[in-house]
Amino acid sequence: MIKRLCIIGVGLIGGSLARALKATGACGEVVGYGRNPEALQRALELGVIDRAESDIAAAARGADVIVLGVPVGAMEAVLGELKPHLEPQTILTDVGSTKGSVVEAAKRVFGTLPPRFVPGHPIAGTEQSGVEASFAELYRQRRVILTPDAATDPEALETIRLMWQQTGAEVIEMPVAHHDEVLAATSHLPHLLAFTLVDTLARLEDHDDIFRFAAGGFRDFTRIASSNPQMWHDICLNNRDALLKMLQRFSTELGTLARAIEGGDSEAILATFQRAKSARDAYCEKNC
């Protein structure tokens, strides 16, 4: 049991973690820290946290585990504020969607990745944001990736593994670089495409009719374009190399399809669609 859990940035992800752990009795007191008093007050009213703190030293005091739930672009600044107040027994973890940038931020602040810092990333979320959108079942039957290094304290790693397992998640470990490559392909690129498609259509002269007659396919494909723009701005910049590699690959494939359509290459078009359908159907059989 985590006797005192501190969440820095109580939004959808951190709030859902607190709700899930409270529901299973896996933690005692949950302390929330943030710069938005109204958001913290709302978290208190919803019962997501037990105590709100606007002072980071008070929030960190006596914490068994501190979860960093801030955008990855803010991670270094928050770690710098937190550093003087970290107690030796406290385990630090995060929920950032990019791991290379978080590890490098920690190294700049601490000189090395602290042994009791376990980088993590829950592969779960919705297009909604804020503590009001949090719910205890968010992580159930989802995956959480941990990216420890050789110097990570085994006890700290096991504590964070058990914490996520208590939410109903499957926990796996992965090297930092591989995590960022995989997520660039499966999460970051789809979000970028959804944002870009909606922005492109919104700037057309007849965009009112386009949106008026958009059907379910448009709604399903662009759902994630309602996600937090600041968060995804930070992710794009902090996973730049892996994302650019996937963008180049996608651009090449899109160009090939465009040439097939231009040339009336029926076989190439159909083959692309058939491969895509087979691949997605196989994915859904295992994961949907």
Q: What is the pLDDT of residues 104-138, one digit of tens each?
A: 999 999 999 999 999 999 999 888 889 999 999 99
Which residues, at least 6 apart from 33, have a Cβ–Cβ distance to it below 8 Å?
6, 7, 8, 9, 10, 40, 52, 53, 54, 55, 56, 59, 60
Ranges for all domains in the chain classified under CATH 3.40.50.720: 2-174
Ranges for all domains in the chain classified under CATH 1.10.3660.10: 179-287
CATH entry 3.20.10.10 includes domain 179-287: no
pTM (2 decimals)?
0.90
Q: What is the average pLDDT across 66-72? A: 95
Q: What is the pLDDT of residue 211?
A: 87
Q: What is the average pLDDT across 278-287? A: 90
Share of the chain above pLDDT 90, in %: 88
Average pLDDT taken over every residue of the chain = 95
Strands across the sheet containing 170-173: 120-123, 143-146, 170-173
In degrees, rounded to 5, the angle at the alpha carbon of residue 100 between the alpha carbons of residues 99 and 105 is 95
Q: What is the average pLDDT across 175-180? A: 97
- The alpha carbon dihedral of 274, 276, 278, 284 has a sign of negative
Q: What is the pLDDT of residue 127?
A: 83
CA distance 237 to 227: 16
Q: What is the pLDDT of residue 39?
A: 92
Q: What is the pLDDT of residue 192?
A: 96
Residue 201: is its pLDDT beyond 80? yes
CA distance 58 to 218: 47
Q: Terminus-to-terminus CA distance in the chain, angstroms?
A: 32
Q: What is the average pLDDT across 161-177? A: 97
What is the CATH number assigned to the segment(s) 2-174? 3.40.50.720
When pLDDT is cut at 50, 70 and 90, the band that residue 203 belongs to is very high
**pLDDT tens digits, one per residue of 13-42:** 999 999 999 999 999 999 999 988 999 999
Q: 263, exposed or middle or buried, with CB in 10 Å at 0-12, 13-18, 19+?
A: exposed
**Cβ(41)–Cβ(66) below 8 Å:** no
Q: What is the pLDDT of residue 214?
A: 84
**pLDDT tens digits, one per residue of 221-234:** 999 999 999 989 99
Residue 209: is its pLDDT beyond 90? no
Residue 179: is its pLDDT beyond 80? yes
Lowest mean pLDDT among 64-78, 136-150, 218-232, 254-268: 218-232
Count of positions (residues) in the chain: 288
Residue 155: is its pLDDT beyond 90? yes
